[in-house]
Structure 1
Amino acid sequence: MLKFLVRGESVLEERLAQIGKMVDPESRLADIGTDHAYLPIALVKEGKIDFAIASDVAAGPLNNAKQDIEEAGLEEKIETRLGSGLETLRTEDQIDTVVIAGMGGKLMTNLLETAYQEGKAYPTLILEANIGEHLVRKWLMDHQYEIVAEQIIEVAGHIYE
């Protein structure tokens, strides 16, 4: 994942920027597999959202996220959580938008299905599978989600849906 600096401001690389454009203003966001929390940091900084959970299954990437959130001064607006998939989310978080990006479609649908079986459903899913996109589309159809926006981009010779 790339992070660019322009005049001291953090700018998202193209793939994350396109994902960020799909987030509705004032959403309560969960970024699953957040890595450095670049997406929630950028969205809070630009005033598009006011609350996010940055979640990752690995302590190392989550520590990177915590450090980046602290450097941005956004500890009051972005919480970090260690755990697998959507298990880190609680009802009281009132999350309405879940971003899962940069993992395979099989893992992504397993995470979504585990949450669904636990009675967790979220109105808006923004998903970017790096392989197995057809599995994600099938899961969405099987669970009565409608694809309302789609962007396909090429970055450094790789196609992202």
Structure 2
Amino acid sequence: MKTSTRLRASSSSSTPLAHSWTYDVFICYRGADTRYHFADHLYSNLLQKGIKTFLADEVLNRGEELTLPMIFQAIGESRISVILFSENFASSEWCLDELVEIMQCKQSTNQIVWPIYYKVDPSDVRNQHGSFGEALVNHESKFEDDMEKVMRWRTALNDAANLAAWIFGDG
């Protein structure tokens, strides 16, 4: 993770003085797909390099419940967000809400956003095909009275898919 360390050091000098970062990195991931594989390894490697990283399961105390406002706060307090796109990412309303918040922070605080595609094709995210398309069609039927929510998710997916990224595994 030499890249992360180098970028962390170089980006700190360009950090706005008015903003205080609690975390260097926030990891957005679909637990069922990546929690005990890629996300855990990424988290461990970042910590070994001294990079303060937010991974939801790791910051909770036993018995503590994770809430979306708690997650949004962590996103807003992170200098970098890593979005770990995986096969079932778009099936999770929670992941999609996190993604919208990350993309908003990218605009409002110049947060750095690094997408990673784990065993998915970037074009499926961008064009919302495959499992991403199926999930969004399901969300549309579930949220037919709140199509703006689904449109925010679609826009955030497209915007994130247009960023430079890393691809791991066969997509």
Structure-1-length-normalised TM-score: 0.45
More strand by share: 1
Structure-2-length-normalised TM-score: 0.43
Instruction: Say which structure, 1 or 2, has more relative contact order (CA 8 Å, 6+ apart).
Output: 2
| Larger of the two Rg values belongs to structure | 2
More helix by share: 2
